[in-house]
Chains A and B, each alone.
Chain A
């Protein structure tokens, strides 16, 4: 078997040939497949190198280190690279593709130069998770973000062992989250049934990119991608049923596809199609199936819901997730804070305002007096030594707002506040959920009935209505009076009454 995915089995350290997520700065993540170089690569004598505005990082410095490591930048020797770079003038944040370059074939034969640590600059190497992948993946389409997929996967019961259908694959954000949810080991062989994602995408170039990604991320055998228009051609894979119990549709017209997700052959609009012995359902015949469709517009929701209901899906529920990232900071307001960025030097409270106003008034008076003197008006009072600046020591202490003591570190000053981040995503899509129970025939019922015959009920569980409860109580008291041997009922749950023997709850119908 190939190496398991670092998404699922990360191990303790980074290793060559696997994906890592580089944290460049806050909210700035970069996916990077780490490479082990045997010689100079792309002009870098240190081998494959990640070049960012936060410094240069030869892969050799990122390899075989514990996940989460802070790695220092290196002074790289760009050799011929420098000139070439300038000519190409690519975006400085773009990681440099490090394919061996024919021009540099001489350099490539030289042994890798050991990286020399630079005086400044660092990054962190994180182990890949669907959350990090979602924020850093190459966008080919709109993607489903963590607040939505975390809720969806929970509601459609995607768990280890689940077989889930997904369309369309798009940029693979949801695919990565769902493969983690259903993963319960790699299948040993074709006959070994494990949790699996059956993904469908009809755009050819996206299909190919996605297929390559699945391989690079070690997800072969766990994600099966099919190039398909699911509206017309449904969800079978090589003519076989995925036996799915969970479905996620992120396509523009889910109502064009749901009739394929039925227990027996259906036409769009809920009509049963003509008998077809070759027809296979893509669903697990023995389990309930949970579906979620993801649509930005309410019109899409209406059509999907109508189609689902027509096809016999139940428990239709629609929600919209609103997620906010919260910005947490210290708000420093006060006359005596240094006038730097991030400080607001208006008064922090009424006392400060009054003090400030007083001193202003004082200063005004002085100015007028000085002006009076200058213009020849007699000023009896000639003392000029009034200090017009409010003294630091006079500043009333303000516990609530924190203090600006010199002794205190700036990161502890001010009041701790929080607010939603400035760019808010207020709408992503509407989430429609529904359940399709399995079919239950009369024969099934007869068999179950034979196995679990009725008529020998000894106790009653659940809520009793008033009359029945009275009856119960009467019987209990009677019983107690007769014999003290009677044991207390097994209390399964406080609000439920579990009563012993021969209760005949009254039918209120």
Chain B
């Protein structure tokens, strides 16, 4: 579960009136600046609930910082509830104050927006159409300038012909966006991060993967909580998913969220405060170079200050070669470079590149198993896997310098972890496969299909359809039929296992009998504006890829020749 309040140093998304989102870490005792919208102390957000909208207030006398006011939902909604057909707002005497930060909208009877204006635009148009004297008069009246005058100015600014023909009564001036100094604090989860990457950062970094696609991928790959380890089970079991991710970790994050392993368990509230307080006192704790040393330091600390021990849970002591990874509810990530690119996971407080993170561990530290294609397909050629680090006698070890010792432990741990991942992955039996990759999906599936348990679903995302049409064509009815009725010479005399690892030919790039139900689909969410009397789809939306998803299920073909029965049997006698 993600936490329901803003945590010290936790990531949040701050949505501004302009609909722009800022993603930042709420570091205690800092000032958060939202540019022209103002700034305020970060401590005003910490341990407050998410989804609140605040208004930055003027500094109180004698206070060095502005306070925030929580704007209640009803107040936020007031404008949107205003029915444009109501006549009361047309009262000529009513004064509308275009206060700082307020935006005004002029709408005609049908609710169509005729003009939209901020104070600046009004001033500008006024300069064009009004005499100096009139402007002076307006300035004098300032905030109390009548609504009629503002409406006149706004009309004069628009390109409507025969303005005089329009009586002002036909128009309504709506206060809109009186929230220039408002902002909303949102939790940074997969939906939020995906939205931010797509709309405000760099859509290409996440392969333009939209929410619709993330949802479809997760469901079609049946990604869900894979169970707790069963007592006595030695090998991998339960729900284990296979992933190929070129979205910088967005796919892995989405899967982890669905499996309940994306967010670290919250510390007890009091501990958090204590930890922060300690960090304040002692800002840069030297990172321990060596586990042994860290432990020594810890035991020293115990005698020196019992408090320190309480606030920092002790790291469980483990041998370098002990199994590191979870046996169930895990994601095995196959990557094309020596290290996977999981940079987006830092927004969920997981730093993949840190092999020795502080305790308590992030769940992904034990439940995300990265393996390279080389390690999967030809592990002996990968030195990290094939070259064990020979054990060194403890007295020799003790004589080494700290750095050398640390290095030795790190290497041994790395070798053991790689070993565990590679051996477990090659055993296969995965519960499902989710892919969002720039690589050719045919090559991915050729090698991933044999690793899936029977009946395991496959879901592959692509921003463009072409790679997926080619993939689907590998499983066309004609090809599947021919594979059985008129098999290629290369398949002659092969065992079922050999056929599972079919290397691929031009005619049969993948063994087509290993997957059924091949299907490609696309989805797109169209957004609507819902306002009283003015409900319609938004006029513009982000273009770019809608995205496509290929789905199917891993099949275990019956051995030997097999023919179909049923209605298509009569039409095409030799296909299945």
Binding site for B on A (CB under 8 A): 8-10, 12, 23-26, 52-55, 65-73, 118-122, 124-127, 129-131, 146-147, 149-155, 157, 159-162, 177, 180-181, 183-185, 270, 286-288, 298, 301-302, 305-306, 309-326, 328-330, 409-412, 416-418, 430-432, 435-438, 440, 445, 448-449, 451-465, 468, 492-493, 496, 503, 505, 507-509
Q: Which of the listed residues B190, B211, B225 has the most CB atoms from chain A within 10 Å of its own CB?
A: B225
If A26-B517, A183-B225, A316-B530 touch, whether A121 touches B555 (CB-CB below 8 Å) is: no
CB < 8 Å: which of A150, A410, A451 contacts B219? Answer: A150
Q: Which residues of B contact A493 (CB under 8 A)?
A: 23-24
Q: What 0/1 pattern do residues 221 to 253 of B give for CB contact below 8 A with A?
A: 010110110000000001100000000000000
**Interchain CB contact under 8 A, A459 and B27:** yes
**Interchain CB contact under 8 A, B225 and A185:** yes
**Interchain CB contact under 8 A, B476 and A462:** no
**Interchain CB contact under 8 A, B30 and A459:** yes
**Interchain CB contact under 8 A, B553 and A68:** yes
Interface residues of B in 529-576 (CB under 8 A from A): 529-530, 532, 535, 537, 548, 553-558, 562-569, 576
**12 additional A-B residue pairs with CB within 8 Å, beyond A122-B576, A326-B521:** A121-B564, A151-B216, A155-B211, A311-B73, A318-B529, A319-B528, A328-B476, A437-B73, A438-B4, A455-B65, A456-B29, A457-B31
**Interchain CB contact under 8 A, B455 and A461:** no
Interface residue B523 (Cβ < 8 Å from any Cβ of A): yes
**Interchain CB contact under 8 A, B469 and A328:** yes
Determine the distance from Cα of A319 to Cα of B541 in the docked complex, in whole angstroms. 12
**Interchain CB contact under 8 A, A119 and B218:** no
Determine the distance from Cα of A24 to Cα of B564 in the docked complex, in whole angstroms. 10
CB < 8 Å: which of A122, A451, A460 contacts B562? Answer: A122
If A146-B219, A496-B24 touch, whether A462 touches B32 (CB-CB below 8 Å) is: yes
Determine the distance from Cα of A430 to Cα of B536 in the docked complex, in whole angstroms. 12
- Give, as a whole number of angstroms, the nearest-CB distance from A175 to chain B: 14
Q: Which of the listed residues A53, A328, A464 has the most CB atoms from chain B within 10 Å of its own CB?
A: A328
Q: Which residues of A contact B527 (CB under 8 A)?
A: 317-319
CB < 8 Å: which of A68, A149, A162, A432 contacts B555? Answer: A68
Interface residues of B in 510-524 (CB under 8 A from A): 513, 516-517, 519-524
**Interchain CB contact under 8 A, B454 and A69:** yes
By beta carbon, the residue of chain A nearest B194 is A154
Interface residue B220 (Cβ < 8 Å from any Cβ of A): yes
Q: Which residues of A contact B44 (CB under 8 A)?
A: 449, 452, 454
**Interchain CB contact under 8 A, A459 and B31:** yes
If A10-B455, A72-B562, A159-B258 touch, whether A455 touches B520 (CB-CB below 8 Å) is: no
**Interchain CB contact under 8 A, B523 and A126:** no
**Interchain CB contact under 8 A, A131 and B219:** yes
Q: What 0/1 pattern do residues 58 to 71 of B give for CB contact below 8 A with A?
A: 10000111100010
**Nearest 5 interchain pairs by C-beta:** A67-B455, A68-B454, A160-B260, A411-B478, A312-B73
Count of B interface residues, CB-CB < 8 Å: 126
By beta carbon, the residue of chain B nearest A413 is B478
**Interchain CB contact under 8 A, B565 and A509:** no
A–B Cβ pairs within 8 angstroms, 21 of them: A54-B566, A55-B565, A66-B556, A68-B453, A129-B457, A147-B212, A147-B216, A150-B219, A151-B525, A154-B190, A286-B49, A287-B4, A312-B74, A313-B73, A318-B528, A440-B70, A454-B43, A455-B41, A461-B25, A465-B36, A505-B31
By beta carbon, the residue of chain B nearest A312 is B73
Q: Which residues of B contact A159 (CB under 8 A)?
A: 1-2, 257-258, 260
By beta carbon, the residue of chain B nearest A125 is B455
Q: Is the interface of A mostly helix, strand, loop or mixed?
A: mixed
**Interchain CB contact under 8 A, B522 and A440:** no
Interface residue B35 (Cβ < 8 Å from any Cβ of A): yes
**Interchain CB contact under 8 A, B469 and A155:** no
Q: Which residues of B contact A458 (CB under 8 A)?
A: 29-30
Determine the distance from Cα of A305 to Cα of B144 in the docked complex, in whole angstroms. 34
**Interchain CB contact under 8 A, A312 and B455:** no
If A147-B523, A314-B76 touch, whether A437 touches B225 (CB-CB below 8 Å) is: no
Determine the distance from Cα of A122 to Cα of B472 in the docked complex, in whole angstroms. 22
If A319-B527, A437-B73 touch, whether A70 touches B557 (CB-CB below 8 Å) is: yes
CB < 8 Å: which of A67, A129, A309, A465 contacts B80? Answer: A309
**Interchain CB contact under 8 A, A492 and B64:** no
Interface residue B473 (Cβ < 8 Å from any Cβ of A): yes
- Contacts between the two chains (Cβ within 8 Å), count: 362
Determine the distance from Cα of A290 to Cα of B477 in the docked complex, in whole angstroms. 44
Q: Which residues of B contact A129 (CB under 8 A)?
A: 222, 457
If A183-B225, A314-B73, A319-B528 touch, whether A154 touches B521 (CB-CB below 8 Å) is: no
By beta carbon, the residue of chain B nearest A9 is B227
CB < 8 Å: which of A152, A302, A411 contacts B532? Answer: A302
Q: Which residues of B contact A315 (CB under 8 A)?
A: 51, 184
CB < 8 Å: which of A71, A153, A318 contacts B558? Answer: A71
CB < 8 Å: which of A121, A322, A326, A440 contacts B52? Answer: A440
Q: Which of the listed residues B1, B27, B530, B569 has the most CB atoms from chain A within 10 Å of its own CB?
A: B530
If A68-B456, A462-B35, A509-B38 touch, whether A131 touches B220 (CB-CB below 8 Å) is: yes
Q: Which residues of A contact B477 (CB under 8 A)?
A: 26
CB < 8 Å: which of B33, B48, B516, B562 contacts A448? Answer: B48
Determine the distance from Cα of A71 to Cα of B565 in the docked complex, in whole angstroms. 13
Interface residue B191 (Cβ < 8 Å from any Cβ of A): yes
Interface residue B470 (Cβ < 8 Å from any Cβ of A): yes
**Interchain CB contact under 8 A, A324 and B38:** no
Q: Which residues of A contact B38 (CB under 8 A)?
A: 507-509
Interface residue B507 (Cβ < 8 Å from any Cβ of A): yes
**Interchain CB contact under 8 A, A503 and B31:** yes
Q: Which residues of A contact B525 (CB under 8 A)?
A: 151, 319-321, 431
